[in-house]
């Protein structure tokens, strides 16, 4: 499969997963049933009870927005440029009409950087999954080198956060995307899926990150299918290792079918609600990268916000990679 198809699959897959998942974020199963009549299977207008009631059908949340900032940085600078990324982050936070309730970490770091704070003082402590989202762009940009993907993924996350768990998880995610985009891992067998997670473990530098990844291996060996059981196993909240582990498992279990895996992800609210837009973004990006853009529903592509811009950004991003 051509790299451009994987890039488009990642970008559209992530944005669509975010837009589908954000309408049920933090809602429990009963609330979803009351507001939408049951599981989300396509774009809907957010309920007044939704945390994103201010959005319209097909619009994505801040997860996709911060991912796009990283993509734009790579397109403009052809490398990871910390000044460019920080400037984009500040501009985005300042534009209150455009940003969609950024996570506290990105908001606070942007305010600190704008006030003139130095790197070590501007960064914040936090372990919310939003902090690793931009590293998907690093994984794509370094599609041919997992070592460089890990280094850039961790560094990009460290511009905002100082927690070693989150930073390490960002690097692991970048390696996952790089390995899938570069077709260096094969998922045709259980061993292939386990080898993929073992590769991620080999890059991890933090014990608790390795522990969560080992739980993914255990679940794969048990061949778990029930989403409630998976949510109990991994969690589905904003803690980075919950959403990352759950997304990795959904991708490895059902990811050959983009639609099936994405709908599992965005409906992973369970009995108590969860960070469904983050799980949707991560699963959509991973499955979209693996399957390519042709696996993504044309109906979803037509209805996602800013589809023309996403397509243009995908092509410009590919040009920067292709031209070295």
pLDDT tens string 185-237:
889 899 999 999 999 999 999 999 999 999 999 999 999 999 999 999 999 99
Q: Are 15 and 305 spatial neighbours (Cβ–Cβ below 8 Å)? A: yes
pLDDT, position 138: 98
Q: How confident is the model at residue 323, as a pLDDT? A: 79
Alpha-helical runs (H) found in the chain:
3-22, 29-36, 62-77, 82-94, 104-114, 119-122, 135-141, 146-158, 164-181, 190-203, 207-222, 227-234, 240-254, 258-266, 276-291, 298-303, 307-322
pLDDT band at 312 (very low <50, low <70, confident <90, very high): very high
Report CA-CA distances (Å) from 195 to 10, 155, 176, 275, 284: 22, 25, 12, 27, 21
In this prediction, residue 322 carries a pLDDT of 83
Give the pLDDT confidence of 89-125 residue by residue, as tens digits.
999 988 877 777 766 788 899 999 999 999 889 999 9
**Torsion sign, CA atoms 108, 110, 114, 120:** positive
The number of folded domains in the chain is: 1
Is 303's pLDDT higher than 90? yes
* pLDDT beyond 70 at 324: no
**pLDDT at residue 125, rounded to an integer:** 94
Question: Residue 17 has which token pair?
Answer: 């997963």
Tell me the per-residue pLDDT of 260-285, one tens digit each, with 9 for 90 and over.
Answer: 999 999 999 999 999 999 999 999 99
pLDDT at 9 over 80: yes
Domain CATH code at residue 138? 1.10.4080.10
Nearest by Cα to 7 from 236, 324, 320: 320
Say which residue, 87 or 101, is predicted with more confidence.
Answer: 87
Q: How far is CA 178 from CA 68, 145, 149, 211, in A?
A: 17, 7, 7, 22
Give me the mean pLDDT over the 163-172 stretch: 98
Domain range holding 194?
3-322
């Amino acid at each position: 499969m051509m790299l451009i198809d994987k890039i488009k699959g990642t970008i559209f897959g992530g944005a669509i997963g975010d837009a589908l998942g954000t309408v049920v974020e933090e809602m429990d199963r009963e609330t979803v049933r009351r507001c939408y009549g049951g599981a989300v299977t396509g774009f809907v207008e957010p309920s007044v009870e939704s945390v994103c009631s201010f959005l319209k059908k097909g619009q994505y949340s801040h997860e996709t927005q911060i991912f796009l900032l990283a993509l734009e940085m790579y397109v403009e600078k052809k490398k990871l440029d910390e000044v460019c990324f920080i400037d984009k982050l500040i501009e985005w936070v300042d534009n209150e009409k455009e940003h969609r309730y950024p996570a506290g970490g990105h908001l606070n770091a942007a305010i600190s950087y704008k006030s003139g704070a130095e790197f070590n003082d501007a960064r914040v402590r936090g372990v919310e999954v939003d902090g690793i989202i931009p590293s998907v762009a690093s994984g794509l940009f370094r599609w041919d080198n997992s070592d460089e993907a890990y280094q850039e993924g961790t560094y990009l996350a460290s511009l905002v956060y100082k927690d070693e768990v989150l930073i390490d998880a960002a690097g692991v995610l970048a390696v996952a995307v790089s390995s899938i985009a570069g077709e260096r891992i094969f998922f045709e067998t259980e061993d292939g899926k386990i080898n993929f997670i073992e590769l991620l473990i080999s890059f991890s530098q933090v014990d608790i990150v390795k522990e969560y990844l080992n739980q993914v291996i255990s679940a794969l060996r048990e061949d778990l299918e029930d989403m409630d059981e998976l949510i109990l196993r991994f969690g589905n909240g904003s803690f980075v290792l919950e959403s990352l582990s759950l997304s990795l498992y959904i991708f490895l279990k059902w990811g050959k079918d983009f639609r099936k895996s994405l709908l599992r992800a965005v409906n992973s609210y369970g009995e108590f609600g969860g960070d469904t837009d983050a799980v949707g973004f991560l699963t959509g990006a991973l499955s979209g990268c693996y399957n390519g853009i042709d696996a993504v529903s044309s109906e979803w592509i037509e209805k996602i916000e800013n589809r023309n811009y996403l397509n243009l950004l995908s092509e410009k991003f590919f040009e920067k990679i292709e031209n070295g």
